[in-house]
Structure 1
Amino acid sequence: MAFLFSTFLNTYRPLIISEWVEKLHTECGEQYAARPVEELLQTITRAVDANYQVLVHKNYRDINTFIDKITDMRLKAGFLLSDVQRAFELYRMILTGLLISNAPREDFHEIFERLNLCLAYTMHRFSDHFQDMHHKKIIQQNRELEQKVKKRTAALQESERMAYIGQITASLSHEIRNPLSSVKMNLQILSSNQKITGNDKRRVDISVSEVIRLEQILNQVLDFAKPLQLNINSCNICHILDSYIELLEMKFKEKNLSVVTTFEDKLPLITADGEKLGQAFINVLINAIESSDPFGKISVTFKKTIKQNHEYATVLIDDEGPGLDGKNREEIFKPFFTTKAKGVGLGLANVKRIIEAHNGFVRAKKRRFKGASFSIMIPIGNI
């Protein structure tokens, strides 16, 4: 072929790129018109060079890579398939006009056929890839929607269950509290009677303490049944953790437990209910204390983590107790589940309720060697 197609394409490359960018902005739909010129210039330059490899060398590697990338970009940005196909047609129009003016008549048919084959391949591959990715995107969106529906259904069921518990608790509280108060008052009168001594006095004192424990259980159940209301403010997690660790100092000393804190520097404030978060932290800390053997160690770590492109303030509380088996790990956050002889089973359930109200997560797992690890994640920023 006397006409050097490669020289022609190199000579008119700047003109082809500039005209293609201009026509995309003015003749190819609102999505293209809204794109920055710099972005289109970069994309079109890659397209022109990839087409060059096909037209001159019949090398499809660059155009395949370009199609894969541009398909993903255009699909995420919400471009119509017809607009993208129109964009490739514009390239044909620009190049055809230049060829009519410059290519010899005897070479025109062969060159034009080569151009058509290049664009037919490009548009078919792009269309197939676009539709395949669109199908995958729909499937993914359906899965995400199913997960959201499942999560919201579970939350609604839990809310209904808690409302039912609240109704039962409220109706029973009056029936239980009054006779319980009467029993406690009479036992306290008996306990103060000087004539009751020895084992009889000890039995009365044990009865008083057990009645008081029953009242505390009743109060916990009543509190748990109440709707959770958050008072949102800016919170410093480090200060909250420090204050509750200090509050539990005597409990740590009773079992000779050491507390090791590791707080990441310069972490931002978060918007949350600091008092409620404090309740969650203290419940996990008390659980760690009760699970720990004497002279053990409890570690408290505060750091920033990233999960699914979202930033979280993460608190890790690790102990050196017996740890968690697989079954208990799934059950410990459910209301009224407990492995303790005198436990009510509401402490960790309340932790889960508080953290999830902040759009956060709480997880528990067995540590590799010894003990349990609790992870509390609260979103940084608005909840």
Structure 2
Amino acid sequence: GAVLLARRITGPLKKLVEGTVKISKEDFSQKIDITSQDEIGNLAQSFNDMSRKLLLARERMEVASNKLIQAEKLTSIGRISAGIAHEIRNALTSVKLNIQKLVQSDRLDETEKEHLSISQEGIGQMEKFVKELLDFTRVSELNLARFSLEQILDESIKTLADTLELKKVVLEKNYKEGLPQVLVDADKLKQVFLNILRNAFDAVEEKGEINISLSLLKEQEGSKIRVFISDNGCGIPEENRETIFEPFYTTKASGIGLGLPIARKIIEQHRGTIRVKENAAQGTSFEILIPTEEER
């Protein structure tokens, strides 16, 4: 009896874990075939509802992206995405609550609860997906204060220290001394730097190189701090150098292609610019220009 009960629980749990792992990799066609009238059945129903909404969300966004001209696209996609993101968030909440009920119940042993923890990690990936959608659609005020870009860059690098160590990436910094502080939203700029650095880490091989430089650029319209981040990874084809800033464009197996559009949006809020520069060697180079405080 106990063995039969364990099989009745473990089998459906494996289906749920496999489905969650696949959907966290953006295979939204997953459907869990569990019809039991218990906590596991409720979780499966919540899961199927969520995967259906995710699939519908992606289809609706692709249609919007393909049909609308560029001037209308950002506004329309933003409006659609905001509504979809809230729908998905509600479905995610239902799945999380059902998983928590199962974890807290006496029906599962520790191994089965560990299986469910894998599902919880997958849910975390989907929550990141929703957060990116909402970040892209929100027009939030900047929380401005004086900061040195050296400090924000160093904090970003520190956040990724484990990734650096794991891949044995060589990171070189070249910061010009005496650069002025700038009036910026430090958290938002850190989000930009983290996105570019993570892309660089993904692009380089083990023991690859990433270079970061900071300098002062004096132009006719005023002084700017120049942030230059380059890597010796696989690079971006010339024809894609502008496309990468468009919403939902991605070459990665996972990800929804909003990291760089969000980065551009943040930089433009600071009255700055971000672009991909031609790299003499292989790899990718990003140039970010932020106006100095006296020019803002």
TM range, smaller chain: 0.5 to 0.7
Q: How far off is 1:252 after superposition?
A: 0.9
Query: Does residue 382 of structure 1 match 2:280?
Result: no
Does the CA-based 8 Å contact 1:323-1:366 persist in structure 2? Answer: no
Identify the match of residue 214 of structure 1 among 126, 135, 138: 126
TM-score relative to the length of structure 1? 0.53
What is the percentage of aligned positions where both structures have the same residue?
Answer: 36
Give ranges in structure 1 of 5+ residues lacking alignment: 1-156
Letter in 1 for 2:295: N
Counterpart residue number, 1:25: none
The aligned runs of 1:186-201 (5 Å cut-off) are 186-190=98-102, 193-194=107-108
Counterpart residue number, 2:243: 331
Does the CA-based 8 Å contact 1:298-1:318 persist in structure 2? Answer: yes
Counterpart residue number, 2:207: 295
Does the CA-based 8 Å contact 1:188-1:208 persist in structure 2? Answer: no
Identify the match of residue 341 of structure 1 among 253, 258, 276: 253
Q: How far off is 1:293 after superposition?
A: 1.1
Farther off after superposition, 208-217 or 255-264:
208-217
Q: How far off is 1:191 after superposition?
A: 5.8
Q: For 1:217 and 1:232, how far apart are their aligned partners in 2?
A: 27
Counterpart residue number, 2:222: 310
Give ranges in structure 2 of 5+ residues lacking alignment: 1-68
Letter in 1 for 2:158: E
Does the CA-based 8 Å contact 1:310-1:379 persist in structure 2? Answer: yes
Q: For 1:329 and 1:168, how far apart are their aligned partners in 2?
A: 26
Q: 1:261 is paired with a residue of what secondary structure?
A: strand
Does the CA-based 8 Å contact 1:312-1:377 persist in structure 2? Answer: yes
Does the CA-based 8 Å contact 2:135-2:262 persist in structure 1? Answer: no
Q: 1:254 is paired with a residue of what secondary structure?
A: helix
Counterpart residue number, 1:279: 191
Does the CA-based 8 Å contact 2:223-2:295 persist in structure 1? Answer: no
Query: Does residue 259 of structure 1 match 2:171?
Result: yes
Structure-2 change in CA distance of 1:197 and 1:230 (3 Å):
closer
Identify the match of residue 352 of structure 1 among 264, 279, 291: 264
Does the CA-based 8 Å contact 2:232-2:284 persist in structure 1? Answer: yes
Q: 2:158 is paired with a residue of what secondary structure?
A: helix
Q: How far off is 1:233 after superposition?
A: 2.5
Q: How far off is 1:357 after superposition?
A: 1.5
Structure-2 change in CA distance of 1:273 and 1:174 (3 Å):
closer
Q: Give the paired residue count.
A: 225
Q: How far off is 1:282 after superposition?
A: 1.7
Superposition CA RMSD, Å:
2.6
Compare relative contact order (CA 8 Å, sep 6+) and give the higher one, 1 or 2: 2
Structure-2 change in CA distance of 1:273 and 1:345 (3 Å):
same
Q: For 1:174 and 1:359, how far apart are their aligned partners in 2?
A: 30
Cα-to-partner distance string for 1:170-225 (whole Å, 9 max, x where unaligned): 43334322222222333454467535958x975x5544332321122112211221
If each structure's helix is expressed as a fraction of its own residues, which one has the higher value?
1
Letter in 1 for 2:197: L
Q: 1:332 is paired with a residue of what secondary structure?
A: helix
Which structure has the larger Rg?
Answer: 1
